[in-house]
Amino acid sequence: MWDFAEMSSDEVASLRARYEPLTQSIRELIDAALHVDADNQVVDQAKAQIDAAAELLRAHPASTRQGMALTPEGESIPWDNLGNGIRNPLAPPLVVEHTGPTSARIDVELGAAYEGPPGHVHGGYCALVLDQILGEVASRGSIETVAATGTISLRYLRPTKLGRLHVEAEIQRTEGRKIFITGHIADEDGTTVTAEGLFIVLRQ
Amino acid sequence: MWDFAEMSSDEVASLRARYEPLTQSIRELIDAALHVDADNQVVDQAKAQIDAAAELLRAHPASTRQGMALTPEGESIPWDNLGNGIRNPLAPPLVVEHTGPTSARIDVELGAAYEGPPGHVHGGYCALVLDQILGEVASRGSIETVAATGTISLRYLRPTKLGRLHVEAEIQRTEGRKIFITGHIADEDGTTVTAEGLFIVLRQ
């Protein structure tokens, strides 16, 4: 259903070593830009450096963008994914740890860039985090199984504080190609958002 | 319920003129980084320029971060909001246009940074977009009314293509402090995701 770039584990390691530090630097730049209070001269100077970096990168465009890679060993590597992409500065990234065949967790720290109400995580980003972990559990972290979101329902118990979050999800039952999964997000004070999702298996 | 920084319209205009171009430059840097295919030397050179810009910004830290501003005229300005923040490079931004007292729309173009499945918008970001517009409709774009998400349910009809999107939302009915709102996202081929939300009015 989706296109992948096939590449060896060595090639993946080489690209990761090249682009992961660049991505991390942009993440830190974003955070710095959200915390600065400077005059026009300083801001314009930083902008000029950023524009120069962008111009340098644009001078070497990829012929085709490869959002995901697949190794002969069956490992899938998310390059561009908004949730967990190694090359996407918008991804914290959300690293999903499979805690069993039907369950997973994410531990992540979200800073100013993920804010909705002042001091709190954007409610829509809570939905994104839960969509990400439910989808990963549905697919069991394997490229062999592709599961698409059918429906997802979220209940907001209270605002989620920015900072360290713990996220869990678990398959409740399966019916043919339908997988029913629940999950939740917790901040330092406990559960803030719960989710129920129905995923559909597209390919096995 | 939330903290705001009070500032005059002139002050808002001055800060917007200072930080909006910086934010836009970082958005373009992110897009360039997702489309580059260069050797280590080029990538390291760009990274050094980015690190220099971040160091310059970090040398002028704000004493307190002000995620949102409120003018004496009652206008609220989102600085840091993940969905529509003028100063947040992660925000496309999602500019909500109120088409009536109970309805609104967003027209936005989403590029590589918002990808989930290759070539398509991250399903969780569709949820974020719908949460944003439903929340804005619930609050009617006014700081006088603060509405919190109670529940939101999303139905994914098919994957949403990256590119130009049209989003609409409308209040269906209100019951005391409860507001029931529906919305949908459409790509160039039509509706891809629908949403139903229940919002709770916290303050009027």
Cβ separation A87–B33 shorter than 8 A: yes
- pLDDT at residue B159, rounded to an integer: 95
Residues in chain B with CB shorter than 8 Å from the CB of A82 are 113-116, 122, 124-125
Cβ separation B21–A47 shorter than 8 A: yes
Instruction: Spell out the domain ranges in chain B.
Output: 1-81, 94-203
Nearest CB partner across the interface for A3, out of B46, B118, B124: B118
Q: Nearest-5° angle of CA B19, CA A32, CA A161?
A: 100
Asked whether the ipTM of the predicted complex exceeds the cut of 0.90, the reply is yes
**Best mutation site among A4, A29, A199 for testing chain B: the one with the most B CBs within 10 Å?**
A29
User: In Å, how far is B73's CA from the nearest CA of chain A?
Assistant: 21
pLDDT, tens digit, for every residue of B13-31? 999 999 999 999 999 999 9
pLDDT, tens digit, for every residue of B27-86? 999 999 999 999 999 999 999 999 999 999 999 999 988 888 888 888 888 999 999 999
Contact A9, A75 (CB under 8 A): yes
- pLDDT at residue A70, rounded to an integer: 87
pLDDT above 90 for A180: yes
Nearest CB partner across the interface for A35, out of B65, B118, B155: B65
Residue in chain B lying closest to A89 (CA): B30
User: In Å, how far is B204's CA from the nearest CA of chain A?
Assistant: 17
pLDDT, tens digit, for every residue of A102-124? 999 999 999 999 999 989 999 99
Cβ separation B122–A81 shorter than 8 A: yes
State which of A47-61, A132-146, A190-204, B68-82 shows the largest mean pLDDT.
A47-61
- pLDDT at residue A143, rounded to an integer: 58
If we measure between CA atoms, which residue out of A196, A30, A193 comes closest to residue A114?
A30
Residue in chain B lying closest to A46 (CA): B53
pLDDT, tens digit, for every residue of B113-159? 999 998 999 999 999 999 999 999 998 756 566 788 899 999 999 99
Residues in chain A with CB shorter than 8 Å from the CB of B159 are 148
Phi, psi at residue A153, to the nearest 5°? -120, 130
- pLDDT at residue B142, rounded to an integer: 62
Residue in chain B lying closest to A156 (CA): B150
pLDDT, tens digit, for every residue of A119-175? 999 999 999 999 999 999 998 756 567 788 899 999 999 999 999 999 999 999 999
pLDDT above 80 for A83: yes
Residues in chain B with CB shorter than 8 Å from the CB of A87 are 33-34
Q: Which fold has domain B94-203?
A: Thiol Ester Dehydrase; Chain A (3.10.129)
